[in-house]
């Protein structure tokens, strides 16, 4: 992989990880459409950790407050603050993706080499975004989240392991279906991404270390930097976007790209 490819894929990962258009779909379809080779497990891990840095930097104050509240709740054996409750809900919401990803890892990995399935899932993401907009009528805040809400959003995150099903799109719309306002659903989605991206990254690093080989470090650094910077900008953009507008443009985008990919595969 050359430096230009690394920057482009980093930008693709950073922008599409947090916008509801599926980063996994784009990381499958872009190299496939351009005739590039497989980027490899280590590069994929580095890109995901770039987006992890983006969300940690953007929500540093929130995350630090949640960690302190969580540790304090363990020390006192009592969950009696909104921050502690939210921290536990984020951990609980991470469980479905961790369990399902572990049990069905081979199945999900096989989908990454199936552009037809990726395109179909991307169209499905658009349909889910559209369905959320047609049912949107409530404005609960994050501090009203309950255990059932966290589990439903967590199951949506688990389903989004499949390439083409947007993690941010499915988790945000799951929050909307549970009555959250768009901004509250987006914030919970971004916070929920931290444990799963961290855990997946550690797992991928373990696999990469077990299969050592020659490593071109400069493209890795470029990919990491472009994913982190574009991811930070994508978070900022989306939080501003959902305060004023609906998800229809993203739904249409998923349909257009998904149908174009389907046509390219079939024809």
**For residues 36-52, b (16+ Cβ closer than 10 Å) or e, as one string?**
eeebeebbbbbbbbbbb
Cα torsion 39, 209, 221, 54 to 10°: value is 90
Spell out the per-residue pLDDT of the chain, length 267, in tens.
788 999 999 999 999 999 999 988 898 889 888 888 777 767 887 898 999 999 999 999 999 999 999 999 999 988 889 899 999 999 999 999 999 988 888 888 888 878 899 999 999 999 999 998 887 666 667 777 888 999 999 999 999 999 899 999 999 999 988 888 888 889 999 999 999 888 877 877 777 666 665 566 788 899 999 999 999 999 999 999 988 888 999 999 999 999 999 998 887
Residues ≥6 apart with Cβ < 8 Å to 199: 94, 98
Number of helices followed by number of strands (H, E) in the chain? 12, 0
Interatomic CA distance for residues 236 and 238, integer angstroms: 6
The single-letter DSSP state of residue 239 is H
Q: Which pLDDT value is given to residue 24?
A: 86
> Contact 3/220 with Cβ under 8 angstroms?
no
Interatomic CA distance for residues 23 and 45, integer angstroms: 13
The single-letter DSSP state of residue 211 is S
Whose CA is closest to 66, among 138, 145, 172, 139? 145
Residues ≥6 apart with Cβ < 8 Å to 252: 126
Q: Which pLDDT value is given to residue 228?
A: 96
Interatomic CA distance for residues 6 and 13, integer angstroms: 10
- Cβ atoms < 10 Å from Cβ of 136: 18
CA atoms within 13 A on the CB side of 200: 26
Interatomic CA distance for residues 238 and 247, integer angstroms: 10
Q: Which pLDDT value is given to residue 128?
A: 94
Interatomic CA distance for residues 131 and 31, integer angstroms: 30
CA atoms within 13 A on the CB side of 152: 15
Q: Which pLDDT value is given to residue 209?
A: 66
């Amino acid at each position: 992989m050359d430096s230009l490819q690394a920057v482009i894929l980093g930008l693709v990962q950073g922008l599409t990880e947090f916008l509801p258009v599926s980063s996994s779909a784009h990381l499958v379809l872009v190299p496939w459409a351009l005739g590039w080779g497989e980027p490899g497990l280590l590069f994929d891990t580095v890109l995901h950790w770039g987006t992890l840095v983006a969300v940690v930097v953007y929500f540093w104050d929130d995350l630090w407050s949640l960690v302190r509240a969580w540790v304090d709740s363990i020390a006192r054996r009592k969950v009696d603050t909104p921050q502690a409750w939210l921290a536990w809900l984020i951990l609980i919401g991470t469980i479905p993706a961790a369990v399902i990803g572990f049990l069905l890892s081979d199945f999900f990995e096989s989908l990454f080499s199936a552009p037809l399935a990726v395109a179909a899932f991307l169209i499905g993401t658009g349909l889910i975004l559209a369905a959320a907009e047609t049912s949107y009528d409530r404005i609960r805040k994050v501090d009203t989240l309950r255990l059932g809400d966290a589990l439903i959003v967590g199951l949506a995150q688990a389903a989004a392991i499949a390439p083409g099903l947007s993690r941010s799109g499915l988790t945000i719309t799951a929050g909307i279906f549970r009555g959250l306002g768009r901004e509250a659903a987006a914030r919970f989605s971004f916070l929920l991404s931290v444990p799963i991206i961290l855990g997946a990254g550690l797992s991928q690093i373990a696999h990469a270390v077990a299969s050592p080989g020659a490593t071109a470090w400069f493209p890795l650094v470029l990919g990491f930097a472009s994913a982190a910077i574009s991811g930070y900008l994508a978070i900022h953009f989306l939080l501003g976007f959902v305060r004023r507008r609906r998800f229809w443009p993203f739904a249409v985008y998923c349909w257009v790209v998904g149908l174009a990919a389907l046509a390219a595969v079939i024809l």
